[in-house]
Amino acid sequence: MSGKRAVIAGIGHTEFSQNSGRSTMQLAAEASLASIRDAGFSPAEVDGTVTFSMDTNDELALIRSLGVPMLRFCARTRGGGGGASATVQLAAAAVESGQADAVLVYRAFNERSGHRFGQPVQANPDPAWNWASPFSLNTPAKVYSLTFQRYMYEFGLTNEDFGRYTVVARDWASTNPNAQFFERPITLQDHQDSRWIVEPILRKLDCCLESDGGVALLITTAERAADHGSDAVPILGSSAIQLEGGHEMFAYYHDDLCEYPEGRVLGEQLYRQAGITAADIDVAMIYENFSPIVFLQLEAFGFCGRGEASDFIKDGHIGRGGSLPTNTNGGLLGEGYIHGMNNIVEGVRQLRGTSSNQISGAEHVLVSAGRSGIILGR
């Protein structure tokens, strides 16, 4: 491996909860400091930051908390949770090009006790909402369900099929002490007893958690990480795909409503960069704001064929002992919803051998946020 290769050298996070009882800036700063220390760095060595378009934690306020004297690279990626893995792409590009030596990636919010993304929009945030909210598409659950319905219709699925994903996620979460649903596994019947959010498509247990918390990563080059004694995990591929006509909310204008074209192109990019195929992925971390999006991604990344995700899950592939352990931290339905960033932490842990649900011999982990993704590997 080239010493110039970007690596994730440090990970940090707060607890994931329903009410953190402190400011989002404190969450961001705590997670950041933890990731810097985990990498064996000092704050004075950080010279770059990356976060999301929707993060409210100002970079300059953050570095005043951390004691970072100077930034020479400062970037934000678009698109909410879909950009989770794009943060790593930006940071990797910065350190591999020499624009920065050590880039802090962070994301923190009080998404449960403060502003809740799942609530109805009160005003159109941008013109794209003009083509939705006047017609009563006013929550993320409804906006996404409009595409999920066609997928269910096309392949003859019911909400029980989606429930089988949630059961697996909650099983993984039940043995992860960091998870909001630690020691709280569910049965399919529990899932079917949860209330409808968009009948007959999504129930409450198909929806991601709303969480308070912060996650941070420290990204640098392999040689710098080695100098600092970090337990570093190489980034073998990173990409973020936007397609003309596509949208992270209103995916209504692609020819085929039953596929996730950004995910398909993303998978092709990542496998090419890493020099591997879908069959080489040992653990998949797949962003799920809602359970059906896992189905679309399993198909998009080539783990199974079009319309086959339901059987793939039913046959046990994504659970314990399966061929593709998926969301081994419990995912965003089971561990917590830090906009997908917590899935990157789990990907790093799987390769360090420190996951609560360690998959022995894991060599390649895909961490997908649907339209952005990374492949981590040893």
Partner 1 sequence: MTTVRPPIFDFDDAFFWEGAKNHKLLIQQCGDCEVLRHPPTPICANCGSMNNQATESAGEGSILTWIISQHPTEPDAEPRIVILVQLDEGTRIVSNLIDVAPTHDQVLNDKRVEVCFVDYDGTVLPQFRLAEVQS
Binding site for partner 1 (CB under 8 A): 120, 123-124, 127-128, 130-138, 142, 145-147, 149-150, 153, 198-201, 244, 250, 252-253, 257
Examine the residue annotation and report whether 165 is marked as an active-site residue of this protein.
no
CA 174-175-178 angle, 5° bins: 90
Give the active site residue among 165, 260, 271, 337: 337
- In the complex with partner 1, the residue whose CB is nearer, 142 or 364, is 142
Instruction: Dig out the tokens for 300 from the structure.
Output: 């998009």
Active-site residue 287, yes or no?
yes
Burial class (CB in 10 A: 0-12, 13-18, 19+), 15: middle
Q: Shortest distance, CB of residue 310 to partner 1, whole angstroms? A: 18
Q: Supply the minimum distance, in Å, between the C-beta of residue 351 and partner 1.
A: 39
- Whether the CB-CB separation of 357 and 329 falls below 8 Å is answered with yes
Least distance CB 197 / partner 1 (angstroms): 9
Q: Radius of gyration over alpha carbons of the chain, in Å?
A: 19
State CA 80 to chain mean position distance. 10
- State the minimum distance, in angstroms, from the CB of residue 238 to partner 1: 28
Active-site position among 106, 144, 271, 287: 287
Please state, in angstroms and rounded to a whole number, the distance separating the CA atoms of residues 175 and 362: 19
When the beta carbons of 146 and 265 are compared against partner 1, the nearer one is 146
State which residue, 258 or 365, has the beta carbon closest to partner 1. Answer: 258
CA distances to 27, 47, 234 from 16, rounded to whole Å, are: 10, 27, 26
**244 or 361: whose CB is closer to partner 1?**
244
Active site positions, annotated: 287, 337
